[in-house]
Amino acid sequence: MPRIVVTDATFPSLDHERAVAARHGAKLEEARCQSAADVIAAARGTNILIVQFAKVTREAIEQLAPGGAIVRYGIGLDNIDLMAARDRAIRVAYVPDYATGEVADHTAALILTALRKIIPLDRSVREGVWDAVGVARPVPSFSESTVGFVGFGRIGREVFARLRPFGFSAIVADPYTDAATLSASGARAVDLDTLFSTADVITLHAPLTEATRHLVNTQRLKLMKPTAALINTARGGLIDPAALEAALAERRIAAAALDVFEEEPLPLTSGLRHLSNAILTPHAAWYSSRAIDQLQILAADEVDRHLSGRPARCPAPMPNPT
């Protein structure tokens, strides 16, 4: 009997996954992993590992049954050791094409909230202060504001589609975006340093790789305008958290709005929790009732494909041998 283990999931039910397991006479287990050791134990002898946020290390992958598979609930693959999967011929599939609209909506909402100073204005009213200009200044006109996109893939383009009617202009740092795409969207290509020194708000939409880890560091934060805001709904590891905390605490940049963090859940000891110019949401940008259902349906489909001997709908891009 094939064994399917869900390492972790933040969904109301696993009905789609159970239906696929039943169709193939497989056993579905919920492991509720809290640590790397939990994932290793859950993977032992498993045919298919379904993972949301848990870290799937080489040690865990070595425990999988031969010819096994890993299915990722979501877009990123940085929590899976793809090199180890390739070495053991473990198939990895993911769901890169769900919740695009939800993430774009959340990102645009964070940008508008940060630039319009909604949080400090709300706080001031609750504290008995009635001083819009004193609390919020400076507030730039959207028609005079530039959004800098670090990465301009599917989600980045959707974000700008939402912002463009407000009058924003856009600059983009993305070596993989062609001139035709930029021209069609109305954005302009620049290098990273120009983007950081020019934009009024910077939004991150890059994958997390060794090349992009801590892409936002002390040096780049120093390039930003003191009135600028930083938005991240992509991957927490794109930002050096200590450098960002210092820049916010010293008011070297105006604000940051973060939905993702290098360590999740955000530690209780994180100084970001205590900064009034940091807007924090708990990795929620992907969420809507429709998105959850779509994600689980597509993940369950990958399980069905593997058990049926069919190709993956969305195979993970595997690293080249070193």
For 205-238, the pLDDT digits (tens) are: 999 999 999 999 999 999 999 999 999 999 999 9
**Residue 322 binned pLDDT confidence (cut-offs 50, 70, 90):** low
Q: Decide: 124 and 131 in contact? Cβ < 8 Å.
A: yes
Q: Whole-prediction pTM value?
A: 0.92
**Residue 321 binned pLDDT confidence (cut-offs 50, 70, 90):** confident
Mean pLDDT within 270-280? 97
> Is pLDDT of 251 > 70?
yes
Q: Is residue 318 part of a domain?
A: no
Q: Is residue 234 part of a domain?
A: yes
Is the domain of 140 the same as that of 250? yes
Q: Is residue 21 part of a domain?
A: yes
Amino acid symbol at 308: S
Placement of tokens 């916010």 in the chain: 248
Q: Is residue 315 part of a domain?
A: no
Is the domain of 112 the same as that of 251? yes
Is the domain of 88 the same as that of 167? no
Residue 260 vs residues 148, 211, 236, 266: alpha-carbon distances, Å: 18, 18, 5, 9
Q: Which residues are catalytic?
A: 235, 264, 283
The whole-chain average pLDDT of the chain stands at 97
Q: Which domain holds residue 28?
A: 3-98+288-308
Is the domain of 194 the same as that of 92? no
In sequence order, the 6+-apart residues with CB closer than 8 A to the CB of 268 are none
Phi, psi of 315 (to 5 degrees): -70, 145
Q: Residue 131: what pLDDT?
A: 98
Placement of tokens 């450098």 in the chain: 243
Q: Which of 244, 261, 280 is the last residue of a domain?
A: 280
Q: Is residue 314 part of a domain?
A: no
